[in-house]
Chain A
Amino acid sequence: MTRSASSAPAGGVPVLMKGNEALGEAAIRAGCRAFFGYPITPQSELPAYMARRMPEEDGVFLQAESELAAINMVYGAAGAGVRVMTSSSSPGISLKQEGISYIAGAELPAVIVNIMRGGPGLGSIMPGQSDYFQATKGGGHGDYRLVVYGPATVQELVDLTIRAFNVADRYRSPVMILGDGILGQMMEPVVFPTEKPAEVAKPWATTGRQGTRGRNVVNSLYLAAEELEAHNLRLQAKFAEMHSNEVIYESIIPDGAEVVCVAYGTTARVVKSAIAMARQEGIKVGLIRPISLWPFPDEAFVNLPDTVRSVLTVEMSAGQMVEDVRLALNGRLPVHFYGRMGGMWPIPRDVLAEIKKAAGREAGVAR
Chain B
Amino acid sequence: MSVVVMERVVFREDRCKGCEVCIAVCPQKIIALDSRINKLGYRSAAVKDQEACTSCGLCARVCPDAVISVYRPARPAKPAPAGEGRKAS
A and B touch in the complex (CB under 8 A): no
